[in-house]
Amino acid sequence: MLKLIGFSLIQCMFLAGGQVFLKFALARIDNFSWTWKFFGSLFTIWQFAASGLSMLLASLIWFYIIKHYELSLAYPLTSFSYIFGTLAAIFIFGESVPVMRWVGVVLIMVGAAFLSKPS
């Protein structure tokens, strides 16, 4: 179980990291539009590439996890990404996270703990 938790923590860090890089990339480009110019401009931003690489690594670790562990045990552990995402919002983007949002994150984690408890 500790090995699964370790893999899940690493996978969730890459997953949240991909979202952080994506937010940085999207902040550097013009307003969103469904045009070739918009999507082409993404490929000139290194943060977009870092986002893709981070998501790829998260996916590869996830492939390993679901190959070797029960999905019903592994999937709830992806909720670690909520903690990493919320911490990134605070420490990287300087966002203010209200107490009720933290309560929600804690409730999700408690639910995940119940779901991933081996029978």
Could you tell me the mean pLDDT of each successive run of 10 residues in the chain, 119 residues long? Answer: 90 96 89 84 90 97 96 88 92 93 89 74
User: What HEC string does 20-43 produce?
Assistant: HHHHHHHHCCCCCCCCHHHHHHHC
pTM metric for this prediction: 0.84
The per-residue pLDDT for 64 is: 97
The per-residue pLDDT for 119 is: 65
The per-residue pLDDT for 60 is: 98
CA dist., res. 64 & res. 100, Å (int): 35
Half-sphere exposure of 46 (CA within 13 A, CB side): 0
Contact 55, 21 (CB under 8 A): no
The per-residue pLDDT for 79 is: 87
